[in-house]
Amino acid sequence: MRSRNGNFPFLFTSFTLITTLCVGADNYYIGYRFTAKNTQAINETLSISKAMQPCTFHINSPLIIFKRNLDETLESVLKREQTQFLEFAATGELRVKSNDTFSASQSQTLNSLTIPTRCYAVEFNDESVTITATK
C-alpha cells in the first residue's frame, strides 16, 4: 500500500536493509597491500580478520554484493572477486608510495599500493555475500 507522499515502501525497504546489515551482519577487518620492484610484483597481501567488537555504521554506507556458493568462506569469495572488491574498497582510501633510487650503473623503483585495513559489515546469505563499508 502506498502512503500519501509515495515514499513509504521505499523507506521501509531501505530501513529493513539497513537494520539487517547492522544487526545480522558479522564485522571483519580487511586490508590490502601490493608491492612491486622495477615493475615486477614481489608481494601481494589481502588480510582478513574477524572483528572482536561491532564497528560503527553509517546509514548511507556503500555496499557491494557478490555471488556465493554454498559454504564458501569470505576469503575465497574475496580472492575470486578480488578486482571488484579492491575497486570498491579503494573508493574509501588508497595510498600509493613510490621510492626511486639511482646510481651510475642502475636505477631501482619500489612501488607500494595500500588499501588501509578497515572494518566491513559482512552478511552471508545462501547465494550471496553483502559487504558494507563501515566508519
Alpha helices by DSSP H, listed for 1-135, are: 8-23, 74-80, 82-90
- 2 belongs to a structural domain: no
Residue indicated by cell numbers 559482512: 122
Is 1 among the domain residues? no
Q: d(Cα 118, Cα 42) in Å, to the nearest integer?
A: 24
Domain that holds residue 99: 8-133
Point out which residues pair with 7 in neighbouring strands.
none
In this predicted model, what pLDDT tens digit does every residue of 19-73 receive, in sequence order? 444 456 899 999 999 999 998 999 999 999 999 988 887 777 888 999 998 888 9
Q: Could you give the CA distance from residue 30 to residue 78 in angstroms, rounded to a whole number?
A: 10
Q: Rounded to whole angstroms, how far apart are CA atoms 124 and 127?
A: 8
Q: Say if 121 falls within a structural domain.
A: yes
Q: Is residue 48 part of a domain?
A: yes
Answer whether residue 120 is part of any domain: yes
d(CA 80, CA 119): 20
Indicate the pTM of the whole model. Answer: 0.74
| Residue 58 to residue 82: CA distance in whole angstroms | 24
**Total structural domains within the chain:** 1
